[in-house]
Amino acid sequence: MMMKLALLVGALWLAGTGAAGAAPPARTHNMQPEDCFTLTAVENIATSPDGTLAAYTENRWAEGKKGRTSDLWVVPVDGGPARRLTFDGFGGGGCAWSPDGRWLYFLGRDKAGRDTPPHDGSTQAWRLSPDGGTPTPVTRCADGIDAFVLAPDGTSLYYTVSREKTDEEFGDLLGKFDELRYGHGVRDLTEVRRLDLVTWRDEVALPATRVIHDLAIAPDGTRLALITTTDNEAIFNEGWSRVEIVELAGGAVTEVTSQAWRDGHKSPYGWLEDLAWAPDGKALAFSISYDGYASDIWVAEQSGQDWPLRKVARPDPIGYDGGLAWRGARRTLCYRGESMARVHVMAVEGVAGGTQGRTVELTKGDLVVASFAFDRKGTTLAAVWETTTDANDVYAVTTPDKVRRLTRTNPQVDTWKLPQISHVSWTGEGGRTVWGILELPPGYEKGSGPLPAIVELHGGPTSSTRIGFRLWMYGRGLMPARGYALLNPNYRGSTGYGDAFLEELVGRENDVEVKDITAGVHWLVDQGLADPKRIGVMGWSNGGYLTDCMIAAEPDMFAAASSGAGVLDQVIQWGIEDTPGHVINFMRGLPWQNPDAYRAASPLYRLDRVKTPTIIHVGGNDPRVPVAHSRALYRALKHYLDVPVQLVEYPGEPHGLTTQRNRMAKMQWDLAWFDKYLLGK
């Protein structure tokens, strides 16, 4: 096996991050499961119009089963202490600055416990001075609001609320038994309201005739761009969503994305996201994403009464990772671009007249950028990212080589013994180079002997494992701290390695990626890093599916497994999940059109080969990979195959575990399971 191992060193210039000449604290703390819940996530970055401040939210874990809470902060871009603006999980989502910089508007919840809004815990729009003070409610809607956008002149706020609509057919029964759940006939449509921030007059701007998934207001305030569907069935954002432009005066509607536009795509099941108006209001950017295929950026540019569409080219192997935004008054379109397990801010210059200029990186180094924002002129860039040694923080970017760290949100990490993180590669199926992230225990020296090892498989599969530091319930950080080598393969079908590498998985699930992963395990053993008798495998979602595939395909390779929310049978998955286009894409058809593909991609039909002791995790209310898969796997291993197994269901939980208590349970079960079957404890 060929091996390319390069320990990554960040290329960042960090100023103002500590006392001059101060020695870093000693790394003496061995990471524990409890440490996961001390980490604060930084989100919702928004740069003030004059570029002097960056607003953001800090998202923290609450105790027990209370989930996560967030609060709003600001920090000076030139350096200085950050200021907390809200407390007790008040919120901070959808953060937007007023044009004069006097106010921050955001989504928040006042949990005062009263019976009437805005103090009843419902989500409302609020505003607050960046200097602090008491938040002022802007909306007072029963049942709360869904989203808002601020008019460019700051004089009005457009917000959305849900209105239930019952179809006429069988309407009497639908209304009579409204406590029941129906497949169709009852829809939650979206009403757009306009609130005048001077007179406080509140009126309907767009009636509830459609479901709105995203909205953006044009720079001159005369138009709204919408991503809409006609219904809100769980699957209705796949392939049926469209971009519309609505004239606020008169209500004239232009449908930007016709069905004919979709006909030439690799899949009809793409979903639309990320509306962004150009600064002159004559172009509108958006993205379309798929399961199994590369996401694309499109721009609709006004030509008379028409809005012709063109696709924005991306340099190979850069993949689109979200965050569309125009820079200042220029026709420069920016986005997060993923390449080789890093994520950077990319800028496409000269997007106008059906052409585009060069694409440049605005950040560089071993970074994973989560979000970014510019000031009004486009000269000040604030971004949130993580590195191999730091969890997410806010940075000010002058040039790609000149960066100032503005926050130190997780100072406790400075004392943690961190895993040795590297980006590695090996030769996979058909001679294809395959990559992954390798984490070795703190202080481990190559050549000192093989380690017990865990192969952790990412979800998606149209996703990837990235280079930044992580400590979470899926294995990263935690397993190396316990003395395991951890390999995270970015198998065929992963993002960030070019469109061809991504799309080679379509029609080949439970085949090519399984062979890529198997080759990675052999590579890990050949390098002397893994004891072949003490290797485990784990994953969640598509990682859980691949765990099921691996223990069936390689019954002698793994001594223990942890399968989380994994698919067992592709026909059942098509029938009961909330995004069936995922299955149709990978199977290249419906079950009755391509039944052999569905069977070949389903680990169910090879379970008789399984020997690996397996613990199974699943959320009791998972709509993406419903609990039936996990129960069937448990039944097969426990009652028919006599394989050591345990099933752990988390009542009420969706596709991911949302509470501290449930995440702690998963981690402790996994550690105990691997300790028993890999370490003999």
- Model confidence over 125-175: pLDDT tens digits? 999 999 999 999 999 999 999 999 999 999 999 999 999 999 999 999 999
CA dist 246 and 210 (Å) reads: 12
Question: Which tokens in the block code for residue 553?
Answer: 């395909």
Residue 12: name the closest of 371, 342, 320, 360 by CA: 342
* Chain position carrying tokens 């919702």: 44
Phi, psi angle pair for 679, to nearest 5°: -105, -10
Question: Cis peptide before 461, with omega less than 30 degrees from 0?
Answer: yes
Q: Give residue 2's pLDDT.
A: 33
pLDDT value of position 283: 97
Residue 600 lies in a domain: yes
Contact (Cβ atoms closer than 8 angstroms) between residue 466 and residue 343: yes
Mean of the per-residue pLDDT values for the chain? 94
CA dihedral 152, 157, 158, 159 (to 10 degrees): 140
Report if residue 176 sits inside a domain: no
Half-sphere exposure of 535 (CA within 13 A, CB side): 26
Over residues 450-464, mean pLDDT: 98
DSSP, residue by residue, 145-200: -SEEEE-TTSSEEEEEEEEEEE-STTHHHHHHTTTS--SSSEEEEEEEEEEETTT-
pLDDT above 90 covers what percent of the chain?
Answer: 90
Residue 17: inside a domain, yes or no? no
Q: Are strands 333-339 and 342-348 parallel, antiparallel or unpaired?
A: antiparallel
490 within some domain: no
Kindly state whether residue 660 falls inside one of the protein's structural domains: yes
Question: Rg of the chain's alpha carbons, rounded to an integer?
Answer: 25
Is 442 part of a structural domain of the chain? no
Cβ 291 vs Cβ 462: under 8 Å? yes
The helix or strand, by DSSP H or E, that contains position 123, with its residue range, turns out to be: strand 123-128
Is the confidence at residue 86, as pLDDT, over 80?
yes
What's 555's domain CATH number? 3.40.50.1820
With b for 16 or more beta-carbon neighbours within 10 A and e for fewer, the 591-602 pattern comes to beebeebbbbbb
| Domain that residue 671 falls in | 541-681
Question: Using CA atoms, how far apart are residues 489 and 505, in angstroms rounded to an integer?
Answer: 14
- Find the distance separating the first CA and the last CA of the chain, reported in whole Å: 33
546-590 pLDDT, tens digit per residue, is 999 999 999 999 999 999 999 999 999 999 999 999 999 999 999
| Closest to 470 measured CA to CA, from 491, 444, 488 | 488
Q: Are 235 and 579 in contact (CB under 8 A)?
A: yes
What span, in angstroms and rounded, lies between the C-alpha atoms of 477 and 482? 9
Q: What is the 3-state secondary structure (H, E, C) of 352-375?
A: ECCECCCEEECCCCCCEEEEEEEC
Position 394 in a domain: no
Residues 498/317, Cβ–Cβ less than 8 Å = yes
Q: State the residue for tokens 């209304």.
A: 175
Beta strands 560-564 and 614-619, pairing class: parallel
* pLDDT band with cut points at 50, 70 and 90 for residue 10: very low
**Is it the case that residue 245 has pLDDT exceeding 60?**
yes
Q: Is the pLDDT of residue 42 over 70?
A: yes
Residue pair 68/58 in contact (Cβ under 8 Å)? The answer is no
Please tell me the distance from the alpha carbon of residue 280 to that of residue 262, in angstroms, as a whole number. 27
SS3 per-residue string spanning 24-39: CCCCCECCCHHHHHHC
* Percent of the chain surpassing pLDDT 70: 97
Q: Which two tokens stand for residue 221?
A: 């305030």
pLDDT mean over 198-219: 97
pTM: 0.94
Position 21 scores a pLDDT of: 52
- Average pLDDT score over residue span 225-239: 89
Q: Which amino acid is at 615?
A: I
Mean pLDDT of 365-387: 97
Where do the H-state alpha helices sit in 193-342? 259-263
Q: Read off the tokens for 332.
A: 């420069």
CB 618 within 8 A of CB 627: yes
Q: Are 492 and 505 in contact (CB under 8 A)?
A: yes
292: which 2 tokens? Answer: 């199994």
CA-closest candidate to residue 314, choices 292, 289, 342, 347: 347
Q: How many domains does the chain have?
A: 1
Residue 335 lies in a domain: no
Q: How far is CA 467 from CA 19, 125, 665, in A?
A: 28, 36, 26
Considering only CA atoms, which of 303, 284, 293, 266 is closest in space to residue 351?
Answer: 284
Report whether 143 contacts 122 (CB < 8 A).
yes
In this predicted structure, the answer to whether residue 358 has a pLDDT above a threshold of 60 is: yes
